[in-house]
Structure 1
């Protein structure tokens, strides 16, 4: 009798553990499939009606969010896939660096496209740079570069208020269009400017650039949707080497000294102006007395 009970208990425990394992496996698979369905991967296609990809995005969104941008691309997917011969193998991010000095720098990016069908309609490379907080691109400067044919087209979206300091501004994004040449090599030199940084402890504000989003699109034609292919969805940080710009900022411990010096300078300036006005009035009165 006791042995039968023991066997029944062991069998019940075994069945319970088996059911728990099955539930865990099924829930894991569901979670994985749901996560995959929300991600935009390389070689996916989407269609837009606007001239710029980010122009379509900002018609429904007021701020830049990476997950929302990926969800937006998923909603714009084309009904038909691009023919296999029109799909290039990989867009290779070869070089990425920050050059220059002071508060004006250049973000250098070199991309190499592997060969694909010469008659493909996807002849325009689109680079979307999501700029971090504390950095902005001047739209007028970029338009000047476009007029000099540094690239085919360019536009800035998001926060374009150039006067706002870093702690009051939002992120902005630059979309650059290039015509693909025969070699498939694209090099862009994006001019950037630093905003006024918040006060810190180290005296520097660290701004880190992630990888850009890279797309291959058909030319922009009136009243026709543009078909685009995802070559690379950028990440928050580069896989090879982080691109960092350390921008000078005020040191918190120095604020008291700066306040005292500013106050003393303001008082001395006011006294000097007062003394100068008194002396000038005395000189004028002396001149008037002599003339009489």
Structure 2
């Protein structure tokens, strides 16, 4: 009888533990999802990020919705292009770090984080979306394959509420810094990380790659093109330019 009683108490304890664990899981979070899509082809692409808050969208009034995007070394954002877009109010984003070498190849670059502000979707009251121009970096020449695959992780959905703190179970404070809450806010404020659905599929960017055994041919053609273009420029300067004194005047 004692053994049976202990066994029954053990089963009851395990059941209570499982029940308490289930109660700790927020039941209002499953509606939040983040999706991303790459448009266009080649090195110059457009990354579209969409956040769907679901039932939690009602609590986001007066807050700014953003996506924290992690870009691997094979992809970068042109800060000059981004500044031009922001000047025309076409996008709002903060680069971390903000100093980017746009000419560096993939193997000499570092990862990049982008805090992209999302705009309300016209056809979905609880959806937010924005597009970000991204560019692929040059890869090392390959032995056989003419394409390299760059994996882009799923973005992290964030909320910034300057006027009030969100007591929701699904939102926790984030370490994101460097961006204001909105255009009226003078400085950065509290960013909240939204508990979201896990994304099993990662976004893959295919970048064209040169072949290693073509290196000699590329070097020879580049040298010939450089010599030819330099000769044409020098001939045009000597014929139509005004140089004095110099070898062209003879």
Indicate if the aligned counterparts of 1:123 and 1:179 stay in contact, CA closer than 8 A: no
Note the C-alpha offset of 1:256: 3.1
Write the deviation string for residues 89-121 of structure 1: whole angstroms up to 9, x where unpaired: 64212x422111232111122221113374657
In the aligned structure 1, how far is the partner of 2:193 from the partner of 2:149?
33
Structure 2 equivalent of residue 190 of structure 1: 132
Alignment coverage as a number of residue pairs: 185
- Structure 1 residues without counterparts, runs of 5 or longer: 1-41, 44-83, 277-287
Write the deviation string for residues 245-274 of structure 1: whole angstroms up to 9, x where unpaired: 1111210121233345556x38986xx89x
- Structure 2 residues without counterparts, runs of 5 or longer: 1-24, 163-180, 236-249
Distance 1:250 1:224, change over 3 A: closer
Q: Pick from 91, 114, 123 the counterpart of residue 174 of structure 1.
A: 114
TM-score by length of 2: 0.60
Structure 2 equivalent of residue 23 of structure 1: none
Indicate if the aligned counterparts of 1:166 and 1:196 stay in contact, CA closer than 8 A: yes
Structure 2 equivalent of residue 70 of structure 1: none
Distance 1:147 1:253, change over 3 A: same
Structure 1 equivalent of residue 36 of structure 2: 96
Distance 1:233 1:146, change over 3 A: farther
SS at match of 1:116: helix
SS at match of 2:100: coil
Question: Alignment RMSD, CA only?
Answer: 3.7
Which structure has the greater CA radius of gyration? 1
Distance 1:137 1:233, change over 3 A: farther
Q: Which has the higher helix share?
A: 1
Structure 2 equivalent of residue 228 of structure 1: 192
Write the deviation string for residues 118-160 of structure 1: whole angstroms up to 9, x where unpaired: 4657611120111112211122322333344344x31111361
Higher relative contact order, chain-length normalized (CA < 8 Å, sep 6+): 2
Q: Pick from 57, 76, 95 the counterpart of residue 156 of structure 1.
A: 95
TM-score by length of 1: 0.52
